[in-house]
Structure 1
Amino acid sequence: MELHPSSDQDPTPNSNPNFHAVLPTPPEAIAPAAAAAPSLLHISFNQDHGCFAAGIDHGFRIYNCDPFREIFRRDFDRGGGIGVVEMLFRCNILALVGGGPDPQYPPNKVMIWDDHQSRCIGELSFRSEVRSVRLRRDRIVVVLEQKIFVYNFADLKLLHQIETIANPKGLCAVSQGVGSLVLVCPGLQKGQVRVEHYASKRTKFIMAHDSRIVCFALSQDGQLLATASSKGTLVRIFNTVDGSLLQEVYCLILFC
């Protein structure tokens, strides 16, 4: 694995300017009305769920949730497929991974993109495809099929590696509380989740389900975890500190 931080740009976002304030849509970035409809490759919310980003076959789009509107778009000239796009709140820093039939970047690289400068300011390279990326103001979390890497955002220094069971969907969640990183990912067994409490340097394993974990969600402070399995019959809510089961909700969930 190779790390290639930019030598002339600190990738740590401090000011967090709004997209619509620092990223006016250039005329050349707007697709002609007669162009074919783009293919959607990826969609993800930002950390406070006020915006979401869509990766398409020739770039990416940023949307505001309420009121709903497109606030920015970036189209790449040659190819340009973006298979993963992860926002950092509403600032100009994003993590991009190539995807689709004609990817903009290799699918085994995470590109740290500064849209204010319209260029990449750092990259992380791996031996296999990147499944997902999670961002905090101080950390970059990269998820591969069976391994997770945690980096310091300021200098792209590798801080931690985690091995997981096969994780093709790139399941991973991180808290957004200042100074208290909690990371949740699949464990090494079917139905198990692993909780990393970095502030207290503790690891907690929770046997959440008998079946394969297909999705989970972590509260902003990292204290509560909701999980669901491939059976799709119930959602369980756990305390991440002691792993105790707090509630079960029976429901019908359809997973594609």
Structure 2
Amino acid sequence: MNFARHQISATAPVLIFDTRFDPDCRIFTTCTQAGFAVYSTYPLKLLRKREITGGTLAFAVPLHTSSLIFLVGGGRSPRYSPNKVVFWDDAQGKEAAELEFRERVRGLACRRGWLAVALRRRVVVFKLNTSITRFNEWDTCDNTRGLLALATGTHSTLMAIPGRQTGHVQLVHLPPCTPPQPIGPPLSLPPRPPPPAPTKHPVAIIAAHATALTTLSVPASGQYLATTSARGTLIRIWDSITGKLIRELRRGSDKAEIYGVAFRPDEREVCAWSDKGTVHVFSLVAGSGGSNRQSTFSPLTTYIPLPKYFDSEWSYAQYRIPTQSAHISLTAPPPKAPTADIVDEEKCVIGWIQAPSDELGGPDKPTEMEYQLVALTYTGGWYRLAMPPSTVTTVPSDPGSPRVSSPPPHIRALSQHRPRSSSGSSVTGRLDKGKGRERDREKEGKERRECILKEFRRYGRWDGWG
């Protein structure tokens, strides 16, 4: 008797067109066939939902935690024309205004009082007040991804957009961002003063990569810039004032599509995620909680012209998003090994939050907070991730003096000298073997660097919406 292949599905997959955090990662929006919804990031809670008939949305961008949300139509049957940006006032539950262009809107970014719209070959900025005023526009190269990044912190000015040449980034400084309006009684502390003006004129163009850009990211302060290219192996961190390359971080050695990069709120760490389904966490400063891994051959790079691979900085922590295929196949192939490089992982979005640590507080010791990650998958998965125990950094009461629970892991010293082989093997052959040993050590130490899954929940259909 021959049995055909059958699949037993527990639940129908959730179709999410887009999901994204607000600039502070306090809330996030998601678009489905039913409309859009707004959630509290942590703890996960559905705040409000809007069912929209007559079409679907490409994305919904929240303006911080205000009631204003920018909607763009998309999909096979768009609710709004894809060349329009609709201003949705969620407090009143209706459309407040709209912007119309002669071409499809590729991307959006916003901050208090400002909206930037990315088109195919230009970026247009609008000032939002009692009325909508066109501020300025800048030409870019072919920007089909709609790349655009805005610094949203108080007094920050930076906007990063693609330059006119492939792989270049154009840095634009807008008027300073205004502080948020306080809620409740006035604060006893004085407002934070604006940062000192730069001693020289900020750089305007950065030649970041030789190939096309895939992501642009800036922290709230706008002090740094993170870029990735179509190759998908490196994340480069730049100083936005001087234009100098600060760090070059390696995601991997094989080609991948990096979906995004996010700075930790205190700008001491950065995380990146790609179509490999793996989240990588890197340290930007010493003592931030973890130490980036480096090859055992890296000390030789100052004496021997070794390939750049051996001088790379690798992530000190990572996490692989599980595949959410909720079905059983009678003829399914055997499961892959935990160390296999699975390429059919889910698309996701990552954001930083502050959550209580495992240490319990008492009457004299309040519960400490630590930086954690929240991953949102496009199939409705919500993951809260903590750093490995030896690298957890608590959030101090004084932002200028972070406390580390334990010292950073020690980078392994160069292995002992081995006598030269009588076969006269070339240096290239030895480096190839060294590269293989590096990969073996990568597999052995993976468990010690795994982020810890603290909480998993569903959003979308499982919270009664849809």
TM-score normalised per structure 2: 0.45
* Matched ranges for 1:119-134 at <5 A: 119-134=94-109
Would the aligned equivalents of 1:146 and 1:165 in 2 still touch at CA under 8 Å?
Answer: yes
Would the aligned equivalents of 1:58 and 1:82 in 2 still touch at CA under 8 Å?
Answer: no
1:51 aligns to 2:27 (yes or no):
yes
Distance 1:77 1:107 in 2: 16
* Matched ranges for 1:28-107 at <5 A: 39-79=15-55, 81-107=56-82
Shift of 1:126: 0.1
Would the aligned equivalents of 2:172 and 2:204 in 1 still touch at CA under 8 Å?
Answer: yes
Query: Alignment partner of 1:247: what SS?
Result: strand
Query: Alignment partner of 1:157: what SS?
Result: strand
The corresponding residue for 2:445 is none
Shift of 1:78: 2.5
Q: Structure 1 stretch 48-57 or stretch 126-135: which is displaced more?
A: 48-57
Unaligned runs of 5+ in 2: 1-11, 176-196, 258-274, 276-466
The alpha-carbon distance between structure 1 residues 131 and 179, as it changes in their structure 2 partners (threshold 3 A), is same
Query: Alignment partner of 1:242: what SS?
Result: coil
Match of 1:174 among 150, 156, 168: 150
1:197 counterpart letter in structure 2: H
The alpha-carbon distance between structure 1 residues 231 and 245, as it changes in their structure 2 partners (threshold 3 A), is same
Match of 2:85 among 110, 120, 129: 110
Would the aligned equivalents of 1:235 and 1:250 in 2 still touch at CA under 8 Å?
Answer: yes
Would the aligned equivalents of 2:203 and 2:241 in 1 still touch at CA under 8 Å?
Answer: no
Q: What are the Cα deviations for residues 194-225 of structure 1, in whole angstroms up to 9, with x where unaligned? A: 11122489661000111111012101011101
Bigger proportion of residues as strand:
1
Would the aligned equivalents of 1:196 and 1:203 in 2 still touch at CA under 8 Å?
Answer: no
2:115 counterpart letter in structure 1: I
Bigger proportion of residues as helix:
2
Query: Alignment partner of 2:69: what SS?
Result: strand
The alpha-carbon distance between structure 1 residues 109 and 63, as it changes in their structure 2 partners (threshold 3 A), is same
1:136 aligns to 2:138 (yes or no):
no
Distance 1:190 1:254 in 2: 19
Q: Which has the higher contact order (CA 8 A, sep 6+)?
A: 1
Q: What are the Cα deviations for residues 26-52 of structure 1, in whole angstroms up to 9, with x where unaligned? A: xxxxxxxxxx86632222110101221
Q: What are the Cα deviations for residues 44-79 of structure 1, in whole angstroms up to 9, with x where unaligned? A: 110101221112233112222222232221111322
The corresponding residue for 1:212 is 212
Distance 1:72 1:198 in 2: 33
Would the aligned equivalents of 2:72 and 2:82 in 1 still touch at CA under 8 Å?
Answer: yes
Percent identity reads 30
Q: Structure 1 stretch 68-77 or stretch 90-99: which is displaced more?
A: 68-77
The alpha-carbon distance between structure 1 residues 203 and 152, as it changes in their structure 2 partners (threshold 3 A), is farther
Query: Alignment partner of 1:90: what SS?
Result: coil
Q: What are the Cα deviations for residues 203-254 of structure 1, in whole angstroms up to 9, with x where unaligned? A: 6100011111101210101110111111111111000011011111112273
Match of 1:163 among 134, 139, 143: 139
Shift of 1:86: 0.4
Q: Structure 1 stretch 66-75 or stretch 166-175: which is displaced more?
A: 66-75
1:198 aligns to 2:179 (yes or no):
no
1:250 aligns to 2:250 (yes or no):
yes
Query: Alignment partner of 2:204: what SS?
Result: strand
Distance 2:214 2:108 in 1: 17
1:148 aligns to 2:107 (yes or no):
no
Count of residue pairs the alignment pairs up: 220
2:140 counterpart letter in structure 1: T
Would the aligned equivalents of 1:57 and 1:102 in 2 still touch at CA under 8 Å?
Answer: no
Larger Rg: 2
The alpha-carbon distance between structure 1 residues 188 and 204, as it changes in their structure 2 partners (threshold 3 A), is same
Distance 1:180 1:228 in 2: 23
Distance 2:44 2:225 in 1: 28
The structure 1 segments of at least 4 consecutive aligned residues displaced by more than 4 Å after TM superposition are 199-203
2:122 counterpart letter in structure 1: K
- Supply the RMSD in Å over aligned alpha carbons: 1.8
1:224 aligns to 2:200 (yes or no):
no
